[in-house]
Amino acid sequence: MLVGLLGLQGAFLDHIPHLKRCGVDAVIVRDIDAMEAIDRLIIPGGESTVMAKFLDEFGMRAPLLRRIDDGMPVWGVCAGAILLAEQVDDGHSGSLGVLPVAVRRNAYGRQIASDTQLIDIPVLGLRAYPGIFIRAPRIESLAEGVKVHALRGKDPVFVQHAHIMATTFHPELNRDDWFHRFFLDIESFRNTP
């Protein structure tokens, strides 16, 4: 299995030690050829507007959407969740728009308000997991069929829709591999005609 890390901007390198411990190869994806070679993709935390701009500048948006539509598993972390969302900040269309949720950027405050919250994650059998929230988005609504795997208070912070996964916090900044292993186990989804 070859896991891609979208390397246009953001904290993609932090995922590499986790993937190595999981026994899979990782490649930094900065062009269409690399995107075509991977089996699944992690879109890291960073600046969602910058990543969206680079996806367009490098002609990668349409090929990425095709790969996701063809069933490639994808995980959006923080800014990556914003890119995947259908709606951002009061109804604006999301950049990729493949995850049927609405999000609000920086919902918990700016950089100075970043913090660690203890959250329960039943699907992983974890209690009081230290979720690291850095200028995190808030998932404000979601469509039927989106599974909520974890909450911060009443806010979903770990969701999944078929082969698309999103966390509004940063599991890659912890030393465990729970989330990476979960992502590696997500089945590819194939649309049937």
> pLDDT tens digits, the chain, 193 residues: what are they?
999 999 999 889 999 999 999 999 999 999 999 999 999 999 999 999 999 999 999 999 999 999 999 999 999 999 999 999 999 998 788 899 999 999 999 887 666 557 899 999 999 999 999 999 998 999 999 999 999 999 999 999 999 999 999 999 999 999 999 999 999 999 876 544 3
Rounded Cα–Cα distance for residues 157 and 132 (Å): 11
Which residue ranges form the domains of the chain, and what is each CATH number? 2-185 (3.40.50.880)
Strand order in the sheet with 164-167: 25-29, 2-6, 40-43, 74-77, 164-167, 155-161, 147-152
pLDDT given at position 193: 38
Predicted confidence at residue 192, as pLDDT, reads 40
Residue 18 is predicted with a pLDDT of 98
- CB within 8 A of 66, min separation 6: which ones? none
* 161 in catalytic set: no
Catalytic residue among 15, 161, 163, 170: 170
On whether the pTM is more than 0.85, the answer is yes
Q: Is 170 a catalytic residue?
A: yes
CA distance 151 to 159: 9
Instruction: Give the model's pLDDT for residue 191.
Output: 47
| Residue 116 phi, psi (nearest 5) | -110, 130
**DSSP-based three-state secondary structure for 143:** coil
pLDDT, residue 190, reads 57
Catalytic residue among 18, 78, 163, 180, which? 78
Catalytic residue among 161, 163, 172, 180: 172
